[in-house]
Amino acid sequence: MLDCTPKDITERKSGGIINPAKTCQPIGAMYAALGIHKCLPHSHGSQGCCSYHRMHLTRHFRDPVMASTSCFTEGSSVFGGGANLKASIQNVFHIYKPDVMAIHTTCLTETIGDDVSSIIKTAEIAEGKLVIHANTPSYVGSHITGFSNMTKAMVSYLAKSTSPEKKEQANIIPGFVNPGDMREIKRLVESMGIEYIMFPDTSGVVDSPMTGEFEMYPEGGTTVEQLQDTGNSQITLALGRFASSDPADLLNKDYKVPVATLKTPIGIKATDALLMTLRNSFAREIPKELEIERGQLVDIMTDTHFHFHGKTVAIFGDPDIVTGITEFVLSLGMVPLHVLTGTPGGSSSSAAGSFEDDINGMLKGAGIEANVKSAGDLFTLHQWIKNQPVDLLIGNTYGKYIARAEDVPFMRVGFPILDRSVHSYLPIVGYRGGMRLIEMISNALLDRADRDAKDEDFELVM
Partner 1 sequence: MAADLAESIIERDEFIVTKGKNKKQLKCDADSSAGCVSQRACVYCGARVVLNPITDAIHLVHGPIGCATYTWDIRGSLSSGAELYRNSFSTDLKEQDIIFGGAKKLAAAIDGLVEKYQAKLVFVYSTCIVGVIGDDLEAICSAASRRHNIEVIPVESSGFIGNKSAGYRAAGDALLRLIKPFESTVVEKNNSINYLGDFNLAGEAWIIQNYLRQMGVELNVTFTGDSHYTALKSAPNARLNIIQCAGSMIYLAGKMEELYQIPYIQISFLGIEDTAASLRNIAAALGEESMIVKAEELIAKETARVENIIKGYRAKLEGKKAAIFVGGGFKAISLIKQFREIGIDVVMIGTQTGRKEEYEIMNELVDDGTVILDDANPAELEKFMMEKGANLLVGGVKERPLAYKLGIAFIDHNHDRKHPLSGFEGAVNFAEEVYSTVCSPVWKSLTSLGMGSGVENHG
Footprint on residues 95-124 left by partner 1 (CB under 8 A): 95-97, 106-108, 111-112
The minimum distance between CB 335 and partner 1, in angstroms, equals 29
The minimum distance between CB 427 and partner 1, in angstroms, equals 22
* Nearest alpha carbon to residue 339 among 288, 388, 286: 388
The minimum distance between CB 24 and partner 1, in angstroms, equals 3
Q: Which is nearer to partner 1, 23 or 222 (CB)?
A: 23
Q: How far is CA 445 from the centre of its chain?
A: 26
3-state secondary structure of 165: coil
Q: Which is nearer to partner 1, 53 or 436 (CB)?
A: 53
Residue 204: exposure state from Cβ atoms within 10 A (0-12, 13-18, ≥19): middle
d(CA 141, CA 31): 16
The minimum distance between CB 353 and partner 1, in angstroms, equals 22
| Residues facing residue 20 across a β-bridge | 377
Window of 7-15, 154-162, 346-354, 385-393 that interacts with partner 1 by CB under 8 A: 7-15
Q: Which is nearer to partner 1, 31 or 282 (CB)?
A: 31
The CA-based dihedral angle spanning residues 346, 349, 350, 354, taken in that order and rounded to the nearest 10 degrees: 30
Site for partner 1 in 55-74 (CB under 8 A): 55-56, 58-59, 62-74
Residues found in the chain: 462
Contact 370, 313 (CB under 8 A): no
The answer to whether residue 420 forms part of the interface with partner 1 (CB under 8 A) is: no
Q: Which is nearer to partner 1, 6 or 365 (CB)?
A: 6
The answer to whether residue 20 forms part of the interface with partner 1 (CB under 8 A) is: yes
The minimum distance between CB 297 and partner 1, in angstroms, equals 31
The answer to whether residue 448 forms part of the interface with partner 1 (CB under 8 A) is: no
Binding flags for partner 1, 208-237, as an x/- string (CB under 8 A): x-xxxxxxx---------------------
Q: Which of 29, 39, 85, 243 binds partner 1 (CB under 8 A)?
A: 85
The minimum distance between CB 364 and partner 1, in angstroms, equals 30
* Nearest alpha carbon to residue 243 among 176, 322, 153, 198: 176
* Nearest alpha carbon to residue 70 among 56, 94, 51, 97: 51
Site for partner 1 in 182-211 (CB under 8 A): 208, 210-211
The minimum distance between CB 56 and partner 1, in angstroms, equals 6
Window of 53-61, 114-122, 184-192, 277-285 that interacts with partner 1 by CB under 8 A: 53-61
The minimum distance between CB 413 and partner 1, in angstroms, equals 18
Contact 326, 361 (CB under 8 A): no
3-state secondary structure of 347: coil
Q: Which is nearer to partner 1, 27 or 429 (CB)?
A: 27
Q: Which is nearer to partner 1, 75 or 193 (CB)?
A: 75
Contact 127, 8 (CB under 8 A): no
* Nearest alpha carbon to residue 108 among 88, 141, 78: 78
Site for partner 1 in 373-402 (CB under 8 A): 398, 401
The minimum distance between CB 247 and partner 1, in angstroms, equals 22
d(CA 49, CA 103): 13
Cα angle 224, 226, 228 (rounded to 5 degrees) comes to 70
Q: Which is nearer to partner 1, 126 or 276 (CB)?
A: 126
E strands, 392-432, in order: 392-395, 410-412
How many CB atoms are located within 10 Å of the residue 287 CB?
A: 15
Q: Which of 29, 33, 34, 84 binds partner 1 (CB under 8 A)?
A: 84
Q: How far is CA 338 from the centre of its chain?
A: 20
